[in-house]
Structure 1
Amino acid sequence: MWIAFFLLSVCALCSADRYRQRAEELMKQTPLIDGHNDLPWQLLLSFHNQLSKVDLNQLNETHTNIPKLRKGLVGGQFWAAYTPCNTQYKDTVRQTLEQIDVIKRMCVKYPETFQCVVSSKEIREAFKIGKLASLIGIEGGHSIDSSMATLRLFFELGVRYMTLSHSCNTPWVDNWLVDTGEDPAGSNGLSDYGKKIIGEMNRLGMIIDLAHTSVKTMNDVLKISKAPVIFSHSSAYAMCKHRRNVPDDILRKVSEKNGIVMVNFFNDYVTCKPTANLLDVADHFDHIKNVAGYKAVGFGGDYDGVHRVPEGLDNVSYYPDLVAELLRRNWTDEEVTAALGENFLRVFQQIEEVAKNSTSPAEDEPIPYDQVRNQCRTGYGYGDQNNNGNPLVLMPAVITAASLTYHLLV
């Protein structure tokens, strides 16, 4: 009896080692591209973005550091340039710029590890030479302050996705809390201006991220976008009925649009409870594959953006264990490789192709002033220079010495 038990234990260990070994082999061939990591936010909170005061090789208080990324065989990472909703109508653009800046400086300070990239081709090139392809995603449409020009300039700075909302409405899009009743609907999904933003993102080649949006917003975007979309860090609603997750009907539409859902590891979205484990996360991968197909799934851990992660996925170094579990569940090499990174790379390439073939001019119509008017916003361009929003009345050209002096001074 004891001999039989021993032999069974040895076989189990050998099997586990086989899956883990195969997982590592696949991850060395195809980059695991994670859709969302909030390490930059932790750098702001703990060090005010002063990289001179922290060593990412030694930092242990976070889910993410360089040794953990190496051990986890992470090949590509979207770093979140996140700024909270309470910056909206205040200093959100500055705050977002500072988060973009710290991500770029990570690449400069640790060039042996990080390579900042802006295209699907550059992701592959970075992975090929052993660098972690580092991309920038803006988490929340409030970051652009309802400005097309700001959206375009963020793209010029290297931003490659924008999550349309966080946990607040903007003047042009509704967030997920609308579906819980905690926020009133402001735009009934996308406003007319929100639809123009989707068109501009398609024209630029910026990835549309539907994580954090209301279901009506999801449907509006899936209907009008000319390019595939992503959920950078969301899970399956059928497995955990949390409004941050993706319902089955939306999963099918994402698949029809050739997009992907990158599974979030936050316990509350995995099990709808404070506790979860690696097997629970794998269940979400299985469900999305069964409903939308294996080409519609990816990884979006949300590390360093959440305070509870599943047992067995304690930090970014544990990714190979999850990949091994998918193999144990009879996922084929092709399916695993797709989920690791090929699905995202396909989506990114299609978005780039839509932009390349676009003949539309840059969208320059401003959002209506009454939708953004507040005490923290001036109204230049909308009305008179006193910013009261009234139409500018052109007076006869009477130039006096006093008026000439005033205009020269200002």
Structure 2
Amino acid sequence: MSQGLTSEEVHRSAIVLDTHADTPQRFVDERWDFTGPLAGGMLSLETARNGNLAGELFALWVEPTQWQGRFAHRAFSLLDGLLEQIRLHPEAMVLCTTADDVLAAHASGRFAAMVSIEGGHAIEADLGLLRLFYRLGVRAMTLTWSNTNEWADSSGDIDDPAVVHHNGLTDFGREVIAEMNRLGMIVDISHVSDKTFWDVLEVSKAPVIASHSSARALTNSARNLTDEMLVAIAKTDGVAMVNFYPAFIDEDYRLAWSAQRPERQRAHAALEEEYAGRPVPFAASTLIDREHTARLPRAPFSSLIDHFMHMIQVAGVDHVGIGTDFDGIPQPPDGIDSAADLPRITAALLERGVSAEDVHKILGGNFLRVFRAVQAVAQP
């Protein structure tokens, strides 16, 4: 890549891809349009264009308590919401199921919409449902959310004695990984327990990703990856994406946020009573978290960049990417309010000494490589 480019020129010349946003809930619960005003969110077509975001791995997140007994139904509803946006705006966005699709979308000036399931409970322990999701365009699955499911342990409840755990993956969980490999579906280990992580790397024949996890060495959250995990992901030629959630990138913020937890739990419980057994829309529940977030100083932007630099140092620049968690977190760190602010990441990485060529890898090239590698392992 030619030298002497400004940070803006470096950013604009990259294919920028984000591997985690919870925006589909807005399509369904708020009847919000991706091409409309941002309206309190973090990702829209306009902000994507302003931030040169070429594509998104949209998460189908099924809240495990609110949708008990209807996990797949909710996931299909969220998928339908995304597909309807694509149907309504074919000139602006397109469903992409391969790396080549992403490149073609970029060349045509359309936003690349990719799809992931967040939380393996959405397949209801049914490989047929997994295959059906694949046939409808889903190309990745985060094996667990914060809840342990029938076949894989989560980091979110691993210390809860009331939850039945499996010591990692069950035999069926290993079948899920094998079927994902066969299909060409990306295995995503964000949210899983440490033992599940190591079981997955032992089983998977394709590289894995951590779609939205940061570095545990800097911020002591079980959701983050240890240095040993980062090295292991690199050895499989996978990619770990930095999460923008303040509690995962700044230790002081994590401790302050944790201290608020009892108060937040009471507020959420009162909201659930108000809805009297009906699923609480995420737009309503996230207001509680945003109110509590507003009481804390914003996490510094430098903390986010520290995670990028640490993960580059430990895993190598070929194994780091971006997983913002937009529309799934109450607030990003200072200086990042929406996808329009992504050029700040490029500028900061260049200032820290990362080359323009390596910044391009982090912004999207590394994910495209893994996307291709996963689909190369697929079998008809």
Task: Quickly name the TM-score band, shorter chain normalised.
Answer: 0.7 to 0.9
- Please point out which of 193, 206, 212 is paired with 2:185: 206
1:231 equivalent in structure 2: 210
Per-residue CA deviations over 1:328-384 (Å, capped at 9, x if unaligned) read 1110112101101110011011101100xx37xxxxxxxxxxxxxxxxxxxxxxxxx
- Residue 106 in 1 paired to residue 129 in 2? no
1:87 deviates by: 5.2
2 CA distance for matches of 1:91 and 1:268? Answer: 30
- The 5-angstrom pairing of residues 144-163 of structure 1 reads 144-163=123-142
User: Could you tell me whether the CA contact under 8 Å between 1:233 and 1:264 is conserved in 2?
Assistant: yes
1:88 deviates by: 6.0
1:138 equivalent in structure 2: 117
Per-residue CA deviations over 1:266-297 (Å, capped at 9, x if unaligned) read 11111131531221111000000000100110
1:341 equivalent in structure 2: 364
DSSP 3-state at the match of 1:177: coil
1:181 deviates by: 4.2
DSSP 3-state at the match of 1:115: strand
1:328 equivalent in structure 2: 351
- Residue 177 in 1 paired to residue 156 in 2? yes
User: Could you tell me whether the CA contact under 8 Å between 2:28 and 2:77 is conserved in 1?
Assistant: no
1:36 equivalent in structure 2: 20
1 CA distance for matches of 2:140 and 2:201? Answer: 16
Q: What RMSD over aligned residues (CA atoms) do the two structures have, in Å?
A: 1.8
User: Could you tell me whether the CA contact under 8 Å between 1:88 and 1:142 is conserved in 2?
Assistant: no
2:143 equivalent in structure 1: 164
Q: Which amino acid aligns with 1:278?
A: F
- The 5-angstrom pairing of residues 1-400 of structure 1 reads 22-47=6-31, 54=33, 56-86=35-65, 90-181=69-160, 184=163, 186-272=165-251, 273=253, 274=257, 275-355=298-378, 358=379
Per-residue CA deviations over 1:203-254 (Å, capped at 9, x if unaligned) read 0000001111001000000111000000111111111000111111100000
DSSP 3-state at the match of 2:372: helix
Q: Which amino acid aligns with 2:363?
A: L
2 CA distance for matches of 1:89 and 1:65? Answer: 30
User: Could you tell me whether the CA contact under 8 Å between 2:146 and 2:157 is conserved in 1?
Assistant: no
Per-residue CA deviations over 1:93-124 (Å, capped at 9, x if unaligned) read 11100111111111122223211110011101
DSSP 3-state at the match of 2:94: strand
1:128 deviates by: 1.3
Structure 1 gap segments, 5+ residues each? 1-17, 360-410
Structure 2 gap segments, 5+ residues each? 258-297
1:90 deviates by: 0.6
Per-residue CA deviations over 1:143-185 (Å, capped at 9, x if unaligned) read 0000000000000000010000011111100001244447645
TM-score between the two structures when normalised by the length of structure 1: 0.78
2 CA distance for matches of 1:342 and 1:326? Answer: 15
Question: Could you say which structure has the larger radius of gyration?
Answer: 1
2:280 equivalent in structure 1: none
1:315 deviates by: 1.2
1 CA distance for matches of 2:176 and 2:302? Answer: 39
DSSP 3-state at the match of 2:58: strand
Q: How many residues align?
A: 334
User: Which structure carries more relative contact order (alpha carbon 8 Å, separation 6+)?
Assistant: 2
